[in-house]
Amino acid sequence: MTRESKKAETEVEWVHKAQAGDLKAFESLVSLYEKRIYNIARRLLESEPDAEDVLQETFLKAFESLGKFREEASFYTWIVQIAVNASLQRLKQRKKWATVSLNDIDERDNDDDYRPREVVIWEENPEKIYSQKELRDILNAAISSLPVIYRTVFLLKDMEDLPAEQVARILGISLPAAKSRLIRARLELRERLGSHFRKRGAESLPLDHTHG
Amino acid sequence: MDCRRLLEELNLYIDGSLEKEICEQLEAHLQGCQRCRIVLDTTKKTITLFRDQEQMEIPFAVQERLHQAIRAHWHKSK
């Protein structure tokens, strides 16, 4: 048995015990995932107190709804969905959506969005140009500046390593929509990091329309 | 394959799930297109930089409050 399947089996066992009212089993599930849920909420909300609220809300809601958990997805996917919904709800309350309404999203769906604006070679090891703290600040600033719909997909797919199908399911969007947001998220972040990591003296390549 | 098509397939290529035939077309395009090579390299690097970020620790007090809230909830439900 692989480590992953062993872990999944333990998780299922804990879920069943927790559903039967075993507090210790539920706390084991909390301990296993609390850090990841906290990080998702922190990165989505950029606020420690709000992340704490979402962390509590997620696990209390999971506790209350354990009986409804049907194992169609993994327990982790299920609680991520609760945490993401709670976070997005808070963002809506903060009216941060003002600039990212659903209409805006539709308008962004055109081919030009796929076109990189700046193409320039990066330093060989960009992470070595900066201190750990500087690098963290650069990455945080880049991801913070990303519209929420792209940030969420990138966070779940590329940072949390969830399959695209699960990301789509969590966000209640189609798989093509999740994939299209992911490519935009990746390319937007690439653009934002370019100014920090470009190779010294390197020129940006001109836009080449001949290649389509 | 042209640059536009390459960008459409970039996700699958990076994630290693592109069909073999399209993968070969994409790699053939990369051979002759420096722009796309740079876009691919820097996009891959972008993902790696974020993926390698350490997770933030939960402050101890936050963790304590979470577990207390869960225990309180459990006792209330009994």
Q: Would an 8 Å CB–CB cutoff place B61 in contact with chain A?
A: no
Buried b (16+ CB within 10 A) or exposed e, B49-72: bbeebeeeebeeebbeebeebbee
Identify the CA nearest to B47 among candidates A186, A139, A125.
A186
Best residue of A28, A52, A134 to probe chain B, by most B CBs closer than 10 Å: A52
The reported pTM is: 0.86
Cβ atoms within 10 Å, residue A162: 20
Does A136 have pLDDT greater than 80? yes
Give the per-residue pLDDT at A70: 83
Asked if residue A103 has pLDDT above 50, the reply is no
| Per-residue pLDDT at A208 | 57
pLDDT of B24-76, one tens digit each?
Answer: 999 999 999 999 999 999 999 999 999 998 899 999 999 999 999 999 998 88
Put simply, the chain A residues between 42 and 101 with a CB less than 8 A from any chain B CB are 42, 48, 52, 55-56, 59-60, 63-64
| pLDDT for res A114 | 66
- Of A15, A43, A45, A41, give the one whose Cα is nearest residue A30: A15
Instruction: For residue A154, name the pLDDT band (cuts at 50, 70, 90).
Output: very high
Kindly report the nearest CA distance between residue A1 and chain B, in angstroms.
25
B13 contacts in chain A (CB < 8 Å) = none
- Give yes or no for B51 touching A (CB within 8 A): yes
Give the H/E segment covering residue A129: none
**Could you give the CA distance from residue A12 to residue A42 in angstroms, rounded to a whole number?**
27
A190 inside 8 A of chain B by CB: yes
Sign of the dihedral through C-alpha A28, A33, A38, A41: negative
Residue B68 contacts A, CB cutoff 8 Å: no
How many CB atoms within 10 Å of residue A201? Answer: 6
pLDDT at residue A111 is higher than 50: no
| Buried-state track A68-86, b at ≥16 Cβ within 10 A, e below 16 | eeeeeeebbbbbbbbbbbb
Mean pLDDT over B11-21 rounds to 91
Q: Give the amino acid at A2.
A: T
Q: What is the pLDDT of residue A113?
A: 58
The chain-wide mean pLDDT, for chain A, equals 85
A32 touches B at CB < 8 Å: no
Is residue A27 within 8 Å of B67, Cβ to Cβ?
yes
| pLDDT above 90: residue A106 | no
User: What percent of chain A is modeled with pLDDT above 70?
Assistant: 86
- Chain B interface, best mutation among A29, A152, A167, A211, by max B CB count within 10 A: A211
pLDDT at A109 (0 to 100): 47
A134 vs B contacts (CB less than 8 Å): none
For the cut 70, the answer to whether the pLDDT of residue A100 exceeds it is no
Q: Does B46 touch chain A (CB under 8 A)?
A: yes
A211 vs A202, residue with greater confidence: A202
Question: Comparing A28 with B77, which gets the higher pLDDT?
Answer: A28
The per-residue pLDDT for range A45-75, each reduced to its tens digit, is: 988 999 999 999 999 999 999 988 887 788 9
